[in-house]
Structure 1
Amino acid sequence: QLMRLLQETDVLITSGAVSMGSRDHIKPVLEEIGTVKFGRVCIKPGKPTTFATVMIPQSQSLSQSVMHKKLVFALPGNPASVHVCFKMFVEPALKKFSGVSDNFQCQLPPISVQLTEDIAMDAERPNMARCTVYWDKASQKFHGYSTGSQRSSRLLSCKSANCLLRIPQKNGVMRKGDMCKALVIDSLIPDMPPTVDCHMASSGHDELHSHCQCGSHSATETHRERVLQNKIKIGILTVSDRASKGIYADKNGPVLVQAMKEIFGEECIENLQVQVVPDEDKRISEWLNKWQQEKVDLIITNGGTGF
């Protein structure tokens, strides 16, 4: 069955049938038909994750066939393990395989996060903990909290996660206020009110801590519901001589407007201004200074950067 699938695909991803015990069925097959590059990873969750390459003959003509290298990712069966390992191993490889030449662009972006709660460490393996991260204006740092129980079978831990915290392999606990490395896997949340301590209990419960006052919001609220507590102001400035004179329409501005609405949700945007100005320093400065005085949270310019 694997050979048939490999004839039809460039990359094969399996889920389940890899384990640390007698139910490790995929790896022996891959060892027989190809080359296993690694069969264990030192992270939690996802230790049995396996990667292999298989050379498959594919005909180019009636008399000639060429060997093609196929990639096989064998992921564990538990949903959180699949989620984490897909983000860490499969997604970067697919970007590279699809033609992205810059290795940095293929990787998950790393950031530093200040914890808003205590998180237990594991002495056996580093833990890629699912967490929710937001930008805190007061401290000018990313703040993050666990999405609850980190059991590999608990898919709910992935629902509101936008980062993977790299919890070190140690005994003990990382304390609230400690800095921790993280990998970004989804859109980050804009600033949340610094007076609101919104984080989930790391004990595994989905309820917010009893001292956390968030109105009627529950721990399973979506990112956009959290952003509603502090709506965002956006300014989009298109710099173009011809567009400012009406010679042709500004097409970039509407595209950026739509992108902002998709990212933040219309209900989370307090004010969205779009302006088109000529390629002149004075006019550009006027609008940038105006928006700064109006305390616009996000300013996006396009154009005016040529040589």
Structure 2
Amino acid sequence: MQHSPKQQPKMLSAEQAITQMLAEVQPLVQQETVPLAAALDRVLAKPVLSEMNVPGYDNAAMDGFAMRVADIKPNQPLVVVGKALAGHAYTAKVPSGSCVVITTGAVLPPELDTVVMQEQVNLTQTETEQHIVCQLVPLVGEHVRRAGEDIAKDQPVFAAGHKLRPADLGLLASLGFASVTVIRQLNVAIFSSGDELIAPGQPLPDGHIYDSNRYVIAAMLQRLGVKILDLGLLPDEPAAIEQAFLQAMANADVLITSAGVSVGEADYTRHILQKLGDINFWQVAIKPGKPFAFGKLNHCWFFGLPGNPVAAVVTLEQLVQPILGKLSGEAPVAEGTLLRAECQVALKKQPGRQDYQRGWYWQDGQGLKVKTLGRQSSGMLSSIANANCYIVLPADSASLPAGESVLILPFSTMLR
């Protein structure tokens, strides 16, 4: 851990900042067992192996007739001796020259080896029995799902570190799992501070603004499946700020704040941070989001986001999200895919920092198109609330005319 901004003589790229933070943090190790119904977005603590074959038995892939391929001769009828229904197996012996009606998912009688679709047979009925004549000679195993062909017993289903999605819970349920062992949830504390901030719903005096950062940060964190400790809206008083830090240090794995990390902002906030822990105050070469702080308060990791609302959103999603993933025990995941799109408007940019301009992309007959949505001020949340992607302009890029090909990064689940 570096202890002084003097050790960071220039701005870090986003990749450098993320690499340094990932090198510092270690995943949680505490485990707990939770019911399957409560396991969405939880991270598996150990691999899951199937305790059964899926399917558990040879069965029909569609409605038709089950038979032996060896019994099928041109224009020679087979006697229909019974029915195999889903949930009701046909258990009697099937003599040579016979077949059974079978429905999708029903157990294939052990002496039979193929299924012919009902549309591919001619069925005749006498007073005492039914006969079929196949219109073709099938292959052995046609329209048959073999036991274990989807998942074999003892086969790995999910690796440790896998974050469970809705379909994953269905798969686990289909394998008979009622609960899973997961890493305990990350506890993340947040608070807002500032005498100019007013809680939503209250009258707004002149010179004040409503507290928005705490709400958007909490909402984004909910998408990550962490537990949130909301320490509220605090005044610009050193004692109140220090008490919030101490509460977070005692009860949370992570503390995330916004504002107070820029040069010239609230000197007592920096003083308290440096008094209680090891904190780096960085300048990261992204726009919006240049001021950023990272460090540790005893056993609690600290992330200080810029105060401007859009800058707080961008740094939380782009810089902090990967670190929270590692802390939660989640296996490394591929970064969001950058796509190419034709920009429909001119873009303003000064070289120097990688720019995350907020945009809206869509597909038409000629490919992906994108445009910005009004002004790109880092204080205007509407620019991100009405967007579905970032237009990512490299650090050395300058302004671009309309019609240029640009890279876009669709919003992650934190913002969608």
TM-score (norm 1): 0.50
Report the equivalent of 1:34. 277
Answering whether residue 383 of structure 2 is matched by residue 157 of structure 1, we say: yes
2:342 & 2:407 partners in 1: Cα distance? Answer: 9
Give the number of the structure whose alpha-carbon radius of gyration is greater: 2
After the TM superposition, which of the residue ranges 17-26 and 156-165 deviates more from structure 2?
17-26
Matched to 2:316, the amino acid is F
Regions of 4+ moved over 4 Å: none
Per-residue deviation, 1:31: 3.1
Report the equivalent of 2:302. 72
Q: Which has the higher helix share?
A: 1
Cα contact 1:166–1:181 (8 A) shared by 2: yes
Answering whether residue 398 of structure 2 is matched by residue 135 of structure 1, we say: no
Question: What does 1:1-307 correspond to in 2, within 5 Å?
Answer: 1=243, 2-23=245-266, 25-37=268-280, 39-56=282-299, 70-104=300-334, 107-136=335-364, 138-140=365-367, 142-170=368-396, 172-186=398-412
Q: What is the RMSD computed on CA atoms of the aligned residues?
A: 2.4
After superposition, the Cα gap between the structure-2 partners of 1:22 and 1:74, relative to the gap in structure 1 and judged at 3 Å, is closer
Aligned residues: 171
Q: State the secondary structure of the residue aligned to 1:82.
A: helix
Deviations 1:55-107 (A, max 9, x none): 33xxxxxxxxxxxxx22111111111111111112222222222221242xx3
Cα contact 2:336–2:412 (8 A) shared by 1: no
Deviations 1:225-282 (A, max 9, x none): xxxxxxxxxxxxxxxxxxxxxxxxxxxxxxxxxxxxxx9xxxxxxxxxxxxxxxxxxx
2:366 & 2:281 partners in 1: Cα distance? Answer: 41
Report the equivalent of 1:256. none
Report the equivalent of 1:200. none
Matched to 1:139, the amino acid is Q
Per-residue deviation, 1:170: 4.6
Relative contact order: is structure 1 or structure 2 higher (C-alpha 8 Å, sep ≥ 6)? Answer: 2
Matched to 2:292, the amino acid is T
TM-score (norm 2): 0.38
Cα contact 1:121–1:168 (8 A) shared by 2: no
User: Gaps spanning 5+ residues in structure 1: where?
Assistant: 57-69, 188-262, 264-307
Indicate the percent of aligned positions where both proteins have the same amino acid. 29
2:246 & 2:336 partners in 1: Cα distance? Answer: 31
